[in-house]
Amino acid sequence: MYLHPEFETLSRSEIKDLQLKRLKDTVRHCMNSPFYRQRFADNNLTPEDICSLEDLQKIPFTTKQDLRDTYPFGMAAVPLEKCTRLHSSSGTTGNPTVILHTEKDLQEWAKAVARCLYMVGLRPNDVFQNTSGYGMFTGGLGFQYGAEHLGMLTVPAAAGNTKRQLKFITDFGTTAIHAIPSYAARLHEVMESMGIDPARDTKLKTLVIGAEPHSEAQRKRIEEMLGVKAYNSFGMSEMCGPGVAFECTEQNGLHIWEDYYIVEIINPDTLEPVPDGEVGELVLTTLNREAMPLLRYRTRDLTRILPGECPCGRKHVRLDRMKGRSDDMIILKGVNIFPIQIETVLLQFPELATDYLITLETVDSNDEMTIEVELNQLFTDDYARLQSLTRDITRVIKDEILVTPRVKLLPKGSLPQSEGKAVRVRDLRKPY
Ligand code: COA
Ligand code: AMP
Ligand code: ZN
């Protein structure tokens, strides 16, 4: 039942004791990072000021902006030669973010992912197929190493090419898949078109779904469509990637591994802790990271700690499924996008005016982004020029955000004028 009983069966007080020990070690280790050394000095703090878990409140929050400002290696707490991997966010506008890992970090990450997969019943005789993008997307290598650590035959199918995914599923006897929820719907659509019945033609039983918000109703629908049990998986690159919080077989909230993280929920406006059980922004402190420990990192994800104990017996607290974000980040096809990235690209084109509208919608079972943007001058009769401009804009935006938008050029004055702050993003995506 437990892959790591020594951590999964800890009582609340044992968890707190372990957290305090690891917090003190982490804070001391952070003094090797130029960023945290300066932060502590600026706030007249020393590691000796952190004597209890409550003392964590003395430490200022760390933000994504801090990661951008220290790009690429300013947060590192070990010499670069000790690091063996980095992951980076998309984008060239402003600074992307970089996350560094030592060999030990990678081993711990693989163990955390394996613990999650074991918790939902996966074992070495399972065949695990991963439909995440590999490369910089942490869902790729993160699940790969975690599933291998568990000893499963692991199929690094990567994103896209759905017919080939289905061939793998049927030919290799795939029993478990990792997919984002919207892609699970796409898998089902293509299965139907190929006459594949998941119950008759596949051995699928488990789906790991994460990387984008989804409702309980969506989970149920996916479970019915594919004839699987679907477990919510939460993670983020800043915390390694997948393996941060995961549902157990009770499917009632995501256990966050408190031997790896200290959890706080704050009001994103006042930055004060919210009362127990209320929704707020998730703030995480890493407890065993070598290359790049993060103290009180503002994730911008909105959730709450579920009250009560889980019938599975684990005492690690459970997060409710994510309710959204406290910033304007969009998640499309499992890819994180900030509207400012798109705006910055549009501004590079002198032919364009400043008004634009991003629409996210579901076309068949694919989530798509349409960007309508107004032209500066009227040359709508010059069809060839418009076509080539559309192509250029599409290509540069794809390079920036990694997904392909549909770009529509409009005559000036066509977009609806809104009072006050212009509405830049409409999300019309339909639940499947
Ligand atoms: N996972 C797996 N496959 C995906 C996907 C996703 N999140 N989103 C789209 N796809 C598939 C599409 O279904 C399509 O394949 P098909 O036509 O055979 O069904 C193919 O990828 C291309 O999709 P398209 O929407 O035309 O491409 P795009 O240029 O807009 O997006 C992707 C490019 C798919 C490569 C990019 O969105 C991606 O890498 N997404 C995965 C991100 C990820 O893994 N996130 C998880 C982090 S834990
Ligand atoms: P990335 O750093 O690319 O892995 O993206 C991390 C972000 O994806 C998180 O901060 C969340 O906003 C989102 N995310 C990851 N897992 C989930 C999930 N299970 N439900 C909702 N959102 C998620
Ligand atoms: Zn549980």
318 by DSSP, 3-state: which? strand
Pocket of ligand 2 (CB under 6 A): 138, 210-213, 232-237, 241, 299, 301, 322, 325, 331, 336
**Residue 193 near ligand 1, beta carbon < 6 Å:** no
CB 216 within 8 A of CB 256: no
Tens of pLDDT along 274-298?
998 999 999 999 999 999 999 999 9
pLDDT of 423 reads: 75
Sheet arrangement for strand 297-303: 261-266, 280-286, 297-303, 324-325
Task: State residue 175's pLDDT score.
Answer: 98
The β-bridge partners of 369 are 360
* Local structure of residue 271 (DSSP, 8 states): -
Quote the mean pLDDT of the chain: 95
The predicted-structure confidence for 3-35, as pLDDT tens digits, reads as follows 999 999 999 999 999 999 999 999 999 999 999
Higher per-residue confidence, 315 vs 430? 315
Q: Is 122 in the pocket of ligand 1 (CB under 6 A)?
A: no
pLDDT at 421: 62
Protein residues placing their CB within 5 Å of the ion ligand 3: 248, 250, 310, 312, 314
Q: Model confidence over 127-179: pLDDT tens digits?
A: 999 999 999 999 999 999 999 999 999 999 999 999 999 999 999 999 999 99
All domains of the chain in start order, with CATH: 1-326 (3.40.50.12780), 330-427 (3.30.300.30)
Question: How large is the average pLDDT for residues 326-349?
Answer: 95
Is the confidence at residue 235, as pLDDT, over 90?
Answer: yes
Residue nearest to atom 17 of ligand 1 (CA): 161
Give the helix, strand, coil percentages of the chain, each rounded to 5: 35, 25, 40
Taking CA atoms only, the protein residue closest to ligand 2 atom 8 is: 211
Pocket test for ligand 2, best of 331, 335, 402, 429 (most atoms within 8 A of CB): 331
Q: Residue 302 has what pLDDT?
A: 98
Residue 130, ligand 1, Cβ within 6 A: no
Residue 420 confidence (pLDDT): 61
**Cβ of 234 less than 6 Å from ligand 1:** no
Contacts of 56 (CB under 8 A, 6+ apart): 23, 50, 262, 264, 285, 295, 296
> 135 CA to middle of ligand 1, Å?
13
